[in-house]
A and B are shown apart, each in its own frame.
Chain A
Amino acid sequence: DQQVKQNSPSLSVQEGRISILNCDYTNSMFDYFLWYKKYPAEGPTFLISISSIKDKNEDGRFTVFLNKSAKHLSLHIVPSQPGDSAVYFCAASDANQAGTALIFGKGTTLSVSS
């Protein structure tokens, strides 16, 4: 059973507009969430994270929102740029399982057109 779900396999956005990528999780023990970005032929690279004690974290054009009651998080990219076109993975970890690997969703492919 998937503990981290990204239900939209793809998203297309025009340059300059907002991109919103969504992620749901089922394990209430998850307390730290991360977004990774992956270009073809490269490994995933860390983008932004959020701890469960927060509901928002912002870094430049990227903002992650966490709704613990809904077990939902989202990544907002504003404004979107063609270079943002990539696969975005949502990941989660459980502090009680310190040292264990992150659990990943299936990813959402973002395409930003100019």
Chain B
Amino acid sequence: SAVISQKPSRDICQRGTSLTIQCQVDSQVTMMFWYRQQPGQSLTLIATANQGSEATYESGFVIDKFPISRPNLTFSTLTVSNMSPEDSSIYLCSARDNEKQYFGPGTRLTVT
């Protein structure tokens, strides 16, 4: 199984600012993803982080708002740009290894 760490674990940010979340996997994985979990909601896929190329975004999410980097097979970042209170959520990094997906502990973001 893959062990995933995220930094920061939580943050409180002012509206209009940006936050970059880092995700590190302890082994090389083919697929990495970013999810968001808003209160009472499911895990919503934001994008697939592609190594060496632009991320693939789901409907409702755009690169300008959520730029993603994936420079290698073990690391990815998600930036939440120009934040508003509606971006307050838990952001989860995930990695897929064959049929199973593993998750990081999440980053709890509060925007004031």
CB <8 Å contact, B96 and A101: yes
Distance in Å from the Cβ of A108 to the closest Cβ of chain B? 11
Distance in Å from the Cβ of B47 to the closest Cβ of chain A? 9
Q: Which of A13-21, A36-44, A78-86 contacts B (4 or more CB under 8 A)?
A: A36-44
Most buried by B among A4, A105, A106: A106
Interface size on B, residues (CB 8 A): 24
CB <8 Å contact, B103 and A49: no
B4 proximal to A (CB < 8 A): yes
Given contacts A99-B30, A100-B48, A101-B96, contact A46 B43 (CB under 8 A): no
Report the Cα distance A42→B43, complex, angstroms: 13
A57 proximal to B (CB < 8 A): no
Distance in Å from the Cβ of B3 to the closest Cβ of chain A? 11
Report the Cα distance A41→B35, complex, angstroms: 15
A34 proximal to B (CB < 8 A): yes
Q: Which residues of A contact B99 (CB under 8 A)?
A: 32, 49, 93
CB <8 Å contact, A43 and B4: yes
CB <8 Å contact, B106 and A99: no
Report the Cα distance A101→B35, complex, angstroms: 10
Q: Which residues of B contact A43 (CB under 8 A)?
A: 4, 92, 103-106
Report the Cα distance A66→B74, complex, angstroms: 34
A89 proximal to B (CB < 8 A): yes
CB <8 Å contact, B104 and A101: no
CB <8 Å contact, A101 and B100: no
CB <8 Å contact, A42 and B42: no
B111 proximal to A (CB < 8 A): no
Q: B105: nearest residue on chain A (CB-CB)?
A: A43
Q: Which residues of B contact A9 (CB under 8 A)?
A: 40
15 A-B pairs (CB sep. < 8 Å):
A9-B40, A32-B99, A34-B100, A36-B103, A41-B105, A43-B4, A43-B106, A46-B100, A89-B43, A99-B31, A101-B33, A101-B45, A101-B96, A102-B101, A106-B42
4 pairs of A and B residues whose beta carbons are closest in the complex: A43-B103, A104-B43, A106-B42, A101-B33
- What residues make up the interface of A, taking CB atoms closer than 8 Å to B? 2, 4, 9, 32, 34, 36, 41-46, 49, 89, 91, 93, 99-107
